[in-house]
Structure 1
Amino acid sequence: MDELVERVDAQDRALGPVSRRDAVREGWLHRVGVVVCRDGQGRYLVHRRARHLSRFPGHYELGVGGAAQVGESYEQAAGRELGEELGVQAPVRLQFTFLNRTGLSPHWVGVCDAVLQETGVADPGEVAWHGWLTESELRQALQRWTFTPDSHETFARYLAHRADPALSRRRSP
């Protein structure tokens, strides 16, 4: 059975539940929670998606995340996905949201962050590889490796947010 997500409007207000498949097929806005993970040294966690996945197989990703289910906050969705994909639990904090028009369909992204002391055992059905990169290494990787469409924008907005924390109080279109 397809998971239910909350269809939302251009201001991220809930309109009602729909299937994720329908949201993607019809281009309906819905919510996706993503967590950018860093370690105590400030390195970023990057992972490569499993090759058999239907969406962006074998692509690298900066954030761990997925569609928010009905009634789930961005933080809850990001935290759930962190546990499912990397086998780790950690507090996640929403930093900002933005309307993402790249990828398979438009969606609101809630970018959270978390500091991980360790990574758990990644689900091989979701994650083929994961590792830590410095900011410089990540910048280089974004130019050389094939990342998911939203990874570039997420990273740019994350860096801008870190430079100006007031951005967390504003929603970006």
Structure 2
Amino acid sequence: MSASDEILDVVDESDRVVGRAPRGEVYARGLRHRCVFVLARDADDRIFVHRRTATKLVFPALYDMFVGGVVGAGESYDDAALREAEEELGVSGLPRPEPLFRFLYDGGDKSWWSAVYKVRCDLPVRPQVEEVAWHAFLPEDEVERRLSSWEWVPDGLAAYERLRSEPGRFADPRR
């Protein structure tokens, strides 16, 4: 099954399921759905940053400070966060990501409910080559410096700004 054939829950402005459709149709029609964002830090408290491949259906070739993706039909946000983090980082045995908050991302023709998490990844990463064109664990101050010079995914940037604006939410997941 291709990514565009994956079945997603379609949700309303209150995050209630109102239907189901294949991902390709959800994207083509701009239907609201669910996504997860996981901020992964390593043992040195650096943030996993990557550049998406040029073949991604949404925001190709842009940088992101989160791993994550869509929530499948009938899947919980928590299960999707763990699945997506392990898939994109290329690891197994991650601790369950800690939920932080949810928000409705509205980028005009793109809208989805977004659940934001954090996790510590002490494992050696082997990101999926289909998903990740480049990656590194960067110190937080380096991520901050790159915010104005790299082209970031807009939904991830919106989540990152929310994290930075709320005291305690951005802290190292070990604490």
TM-score (norm 1): 0.86
Match of 1:132 in 2: 137
Percent identical = 35
Query: C-alpha root-mean-square deviation of aligned residues, in Å?
Result: 1.7
Unaligned stretches of 5+ in structure 2? Answer: 170-175
- Pair 47,87 (structure 1): closer, same or farther in 2 beyond 3 Å: same
Equivalent-residue separation in structure 2 for 1:119 and 1:61 (angstroms): 19
More off after superposition, 49-58 vs 129-138: 49-58
Number of equivalent positions: 164
Q: Which residue of 18, 26, 29 maps to 1:26?
A: 29
Match of 2:148, SS?
A: helix
Structure 1 partner of 2:60: 57
* Distance (Å, rounded) in 2 between the aligned partners of 1:113 and 1:24: 26
How far apart in 2 are the matches of 1:113 and 1:87?
A: 17
The secondary structure found in structure 1 opposite 2:28 is helix
SS at match of 1:52: coil
Letter aligned with residue 155 of structure 2: D
Q: Which runs of 5+ in 1 are unaligned?
A: 166-173
Structure 1 stretch 50-59 or stretch 112-121: which is displaced more?
50-59
Matched, 1:109 2:114: yes
Within a 5 Å distance, the mapping from 1:1-173 to structure 2 comes to: 1=1, 2-89=5-92, 90=94, 91-102=96-107, 105-161=110-166, 163=167
1:17-47, Cα deviation, whole Å (9 max, x unpaired): 2222222222221100111111233221101
Higher percent of residues as helix = 1
Provide the rounded CA distance (Å) in 2 between the counterparts of 1:109 and 1:159: 16
Alpha-carbon deviation of 1:103? 7.5
Residue 107 of structure 2 aligns to which amino acid in structure 1? Answer: T
Moved over 4 A (4+): none
CA contact (8 A) 1:94 1:112 kept: yes
Equivalent position amino acid for 2:26 in 1:
A
Separation in 1, partners of 2:138, 2:157: 15
Provide TM-score, normalisation by structure 2: 0.85
Residues 55-99 of structure 1: per-residue CA shift (max 9 Å, x gap): 322211111111100111112112111222221231212110000
Cα separation, 2, equivalents of 1:141 and 1:103 = 25
